Amino acid sequence: MILTVTLNTALDITYRVRALRPHASHRVSDVAERPGGKGVNVARVLAALGHEVTVAGFAGGATGQVLRERLAGVPGVTDALVPCAGPTRRTVAVVDERTGDTTQLNEPGPQIEPAEWGAFLDRYEELLPTASAVALSGSLPPGVPVGAYAGLVRTARAVGVPVLLDTSGEPLRRGVAARPDIIKPNAEELAELTGSHEPSRATQDARRRGAHAVVASLGAQGLLAATPEGRWRATPPARVHGNPTGAGDSAVAGLLSGLVERLSWPERLARAVALSAATVRAPAAGEFDAAVYEDLRARVAVAGVVSVA
């Protein structure tokens, strides 16, 4: 079982409009409503790849109930969410069908009380012994300590469970110091963590700060990985147009499934890039176009990178 942790779950709502114009009314051509939050998206992709996944985090209010009902319909995914009093947030993505661009509106999330946080920690420790790997993904809702991910990394590593951390800002900075097995920042998050806007140098610096492996997402340019086994750049064969929401979460699913399946780093990176690109072609986060994935996986270019001092 792979455990994904989403402390700030969401109900993802996607609107499609013919053309998005500021200060104008729009007729919505299609509405999609799905369980979301970064770790939930990761879980759905992992399940589609054939892995058994357990989802942990918080869910509350009417929105949280809808999220849990939708999650119950996903084969291969087990709900281990902890109830909270505050309502689960919603995220709204508005897709401009003319340009393919997406505008995202993210609510902040519920206030988590100390007793609720304690209940989550108990659930997390109960689940870890049966987990083959853990993904810690996304933002922290109000009330959760800023060092929460650092503590969760240490707890998992204490029982020998590998951890992938995908967050940003101060939670990432503190989490890296706890020595996660993998972090997956995008270029902006990596620069904020290290102070360097040169990805090759920044990935090395992030490793020096504690991460065993760093996989930086460079958008349409693919992934750059710095690992104990070597350094690689994985690039898609062509730019894929569509909705990029959730593409990074699919990359996390590719990396984590590759870790569990004991794939080589080049194989993991090829899978992650192909899944990410295939998600851009899918209608919503947490899904990927299977035909695009199979086509791209064999054509992703993975090359070794010479270290930068």
**One-letter amino acid for residue 207 of the chain:** R
Q: To which H or E segment does residue 272 belong?
A: helix 265-280
Catalytic (active site) residue 289: no
Backbone CA torsion sign across 44, 162, 5, 209: negative
Backbone CA torsion sign across 293, 295, 297, 300: negative
Residue 78, strand partner residues: 54
CB 305 within 8 A of CB 227: no
Name the residue with tokens 């590998």: 162
Catalytic position from the list 166, 181, 249, 289: 249
What does the alpha-carbon distance between residue 210 and residue 224 come to, in Å, rounded to a whole number? 17
Other beta carbons within 10 angstroms of residue 114's beta carbon come to 9
- From 136, 201, 146, select the one nearest 6 (Cα to Cα): 136
What is the maximum span of the chain, computed from C-alpha positions, in angstroms? 54
Contacts of 297 (CB under 8 A, 6+ apart): 270, 271, 274
Q: What positions carry a catalytic annotation?
A: 249
